[in-house]
Amino acid sequence: MTHIKLATWNINSVRLRMPLLKKLCDEHNLDVVCLQETKVQDSEFPLEDIKALGFDHVVFRGEKSYNGVAILSRLPLSNVAKQDMANVSESRHISACLPDGTEIHNLYIPAGGDEPDIQVNPKFKFKLECLDYLTDWFGANKIPSDKVIAVGDFNIAPYEHDVWSHKQLLKVVSHTPIEVEKLLRFKESISWVDLARHFVPETEKLYSWWSYRNRDWRKSNRGRRLDHIWATSTITERFGQHQILNDVRDWERPSDHVPVIVSYQLHK
E-strand stretches of 11-82: 32-36, 57-61, 69-73, 78-82
Supply the minimum distance, in Å, between the C-beta of residue 106 and DNA.
16
> How far, in Å, CA of 81 to CA of 195, rounded?
24
Nearer to DNA, 98 or 109 (CB): 109
Report the nearest approach of DNA to the CB of residue 92 (Å): 9
CB of 237 to DNA, least distance (A): 33
| Sign of CA pseudo-dihedral 56, 61, 62, 68 | negative
Cβ at position 243, least distance to DNA in Å: 22
In whole angstroms, what is the distance from residue 206 CA to residue 93 CA? 25
CA-nearest of 170, 167, 162 to 209 is 162
Pairing of strands 32-36, 3-10: parallel
Nearer to DNA by C-beta: 217 or 264? 217
- Kindly tell me which of 31 and 227 has the beta carbon lying closer to DNA: 227
Judged by beta carbon, residue 112 or residue 259, the one nearer DNA is: 112
Residues that bind DNA (CB under 7 A): 12-13, 15-16, 37, 39-40, 64-66, 110-113, 123, 155, 211-213, 253
Question: What three-state secondary structure class fits 50?
Answer: helix
